[in-house]
Amino acid sequence: MRIAIDTNVLVYAEDVSPASRMRRAALSLLERLPEASVVLPVQVLAELYYLLVRKARLAPAKARHIVLNWSDSYETIDTSTAVMLAATDVAASHKLSIWDSLVLSSAAEAGCRLLLSEDMQEGFTLRGVTVINPFAVAIHPLLQAVLTNESR
């Protein structure tokens, strides 16, 4: 099962947020996911860079290094014209931001079954991609299945 990761998971993993509990949760999640199944939309990497430079006030070269490390760690999903046009449809039809719509459309284009995101509505499904909050108290059954299968 292919799994897309949203920006907030990487932000927590990089400790941009002051909540160290969330950093531990994000790192634990990423360690438990089957690496070959995880993909990162390019939009997520762009958002991560922006947050590292603007919010965390890292030097651009340091932020670039972090983004390169993530892009080396997982397969990336490009934002094609088709994905961009699909994202405009999603944004218009479902009242999502264009940025969230790009992430969701990229995940769908890549054949992902899950999008792990704290920022979108849990359970929202589009073109076979279900949004799951990986930090929810109750673990969604689809995510639980992935994590259980990986531990065997």
Would you kindly state where each structural domain of the chain is located, as residue ranges?
A: 3-151
The Cα 58–Cα 69 span in angstroms is: 15
Please list, residue by residue across 8-24, b when 16 or more beta carbons sit within 10 angstroms of its beta carbon and e when fewer do.
bbbbbbbebbeeeebbe
The Cα 120–Cα 104 span in angstroms is: 10
Q: What's the pLDDT score for residue 150?
A: 57
Asked if residue 5 lies in contact with residue 107, where contact means CB atoms within 8 angstroms, the answer is no
pLDDT digit string (tens) for 46-75? 999 999 999 889 999 999 999 999 999 999
pLDDT digit string (tens) for 108-146? 999 999 999 998 989 999 999 999 999 998 889 999 989
- What's the whole-model pTM score? 0.92
Contacts 24+ apart (CB under 8 A), 55-58: 55/16, 56/14, 56/16
pLDDT digit string (tens) for 10-49? 999 998 656 588 888 999 999 999 999 999 999 999 999 9
2.60.120.460, 3.40.50.1010, 2.40.128.50, 2.60.40.650: CATH of 3-151: 3.40.50.1010
Asked if residue 4 lies in contact with residue 105, where contact means CB atoms within 8 angstroms, the answer is no
